[in-house]
Structure 1
Amino acid sequence: MKAEVCFRRQDGRVEARPRESVAALSLQSATPWRTFRWYSGRKHYSGTYGSATVRDHVIHESRLELARLLFADLDPSVRGIVAQPFLLKAEVEGTVRKHIPDYPLTCEGRPVVVDVKPRDRLSKPVVASTFAWTRQAVESRGWRYEVWSEPPSAEPDNVRFLAGDRRDWLFSPELLQELRRFPLDGVALKDVARCVPGRAKERVRAAIHHLLWKDELRVDPTRPLGPATVLWGPA
């Protein structure tokens, strides 16, 4: 399959390169190929998300895209997140096709190109065809391709809650070190503050949420977080 990647530099200059010659890092400085469309009655929820991974804002065009950003921010293997930085053009069965993937992620190992779509729309012929040739173009470049739909209901709620404590520069390194020294396996969230006497409960609780975000502690992701949630050490 012959394919081309078009991306826009910070100065507005557009570059078009054969798929094989595009490096993932070159896309990190690209600007979004398209921006928000605002109009009355718009059904999608657009906005910007303050990513702790890139320490910058990343745009999203729906709540489902926002959920994928939260999960990318939570993933310690993700090093970079860019929104819609390129237009992919490919010749498919004699016809030129175009598609703008949602999020290329720079990860440990191979980059991941992500498209976000509600599960009930995946079977639509146009969507299925677009994702099929996009997968072929991306994977033949040596990158990974992912179509992401709604996760189990409790997971995005938990991630959305923990995201409030995602910024590591807001936490006392001393408090985090104290918590790392305590054996917290099997301890319920409501009892954690007792393990660190002399510290404000609110600060201890927020620090525990941050360690959960950083995957230094674990809980059952399929169950809603609550006072009785039991903590476990990293896998």
Structure 2
Amino acid sequence: MTYEGTAHFWAGSAGVVSDSDVAVRFRMDNGEFVDMTLRRLPFDDVLAGKPVREFRWWKGKRHYSGWYWSSTTGGHVVYESRLELARILLADHDGDVVAIAAQPFVLEGIDGGRVRRHVPDLLLARADGGLTVVDVKAVARLSDPKVASQFAWARDVCEAHGVGFEVWTGCDPVLLSNVRFLAGFRRPVTIALEWVEAVMSFAVDPIEFGLLERSLVRMAPPAVIRPVILHLLWRSWLSTDLTRNLGRSTVLAAAATPAGVSA
């Protein structure tokens, strides 16, 4: 992965940067790079912008990079590794997450007399207005003193500016497997949305997956209804324990339903 402008941009950032603040470089949707301080950062522009880095392919590359189509953003989110993709999947499934940006900005600031630079993996915006910076790292790497000190600095910087900070190393494998499977039904254009209200009406009380399908068999075949059920699980309009394997005996229940459920 590379990004433009690798020279220090500390002195060139907008305003006077003190030891208590950090310089930030982000990339607008039109591709233009913008420098300023973290206190003045327009997060809406960051979330709507482009990654500050672009990945490159080469023979023998160890990580799997690519682009993931997000139902949250309606566009593609870049990932640099399969572990990073896993965290993006969970964010895309999370109904509280309203925006996702990958490699959202470069942070540069003073840490004990030295200049640090850091590009977080993700920036998540939540429905309540909260923001969380996420760094994805294999758990074995956390014992590396360089990694630990970098993340400690990034956490201090983020929290001092009212932004949450998360280091993500993985999750329950069954949960991830279920979410990855449900992601296959995330695109509304592939779902018969006209059956959403009917499915939800039969799930007002807890009901097994198989029974829910059979209850609607006179209205539409399972090949039509099953993707609707799985789409609603993806959107969290139907709820279940995703740390257990999905099957016909999985108990589903209607969650709080937003207005315009069939949209």
- How high is the TM-score relative to the length of structure 2? 0.84
What corresponds to 1:105 in structure 2? Answer: 124
Q: Which moved more, 1:160-169 or 1:149-158?
A: 160-169
What corresponds to 1:91 in structure 2? Answer: 110
How far apart are 1:184 and its partner, in Å? 5.7
What corresponds to 1:24 in structure 2? Answer: 43
Distance 1:38 1:69 in 2: 21
Structure 2 residue corresponding to 1:206, chosen from 224, 227, 235: 227
Question: Which structure carries more relative contact order (alpha carbon 8 Å, separation 6+)?
Answer: 1
Structure 2 residue corresponding to 1:40, chosen from 51, 54, 59: 59
Distance 2:159 2:24 in 1: 14
How far apart are 1:185 and its partner, in Å? 4.0
Which amino acid letter does the alignment assign opposite residue 114 of structure 1?
V
What corresponds to 2:22 in structure 1? Answer: 3
Equivalent position SS for 1:232: strand
- Unaligned segments of structure 1, at least 5 residues: none
Contact 2:239/2:253 (8 A) holds in 1: yes
* Structure 1 residues 60-111: Cα deviation after superposition (integer angstroms, max 9, x where no partner): 0111111111111111111111111210001000100000001111212211
Q: 2:92 matched to 1:73? A: yes
Distance 1:187 1:10 in 2: 45
In angstroms, what is the RMSD of aligned CA positions? Answer: 1.6
- Unaligned segments of structure 2, at least 5 residues: 1-19, 257-263
Distance 1:140 1:199 in 2: 54
Contact 1:192/1:205 (8 A) holds in 2: no
- How high is the TM-score relative to the length of structure 1? 0.94
Structure 2 residue corresponding to 1:160, chosen from 180, 184, 201: 180
Distance 2:113 2:171 in 1: 36
| Equivalent pairs, count | 235
* Structure 1 residues 185-217: Cα deviation after superposition (integer angstroms, max 9, x where no partner): 443222322111230101111111011111121
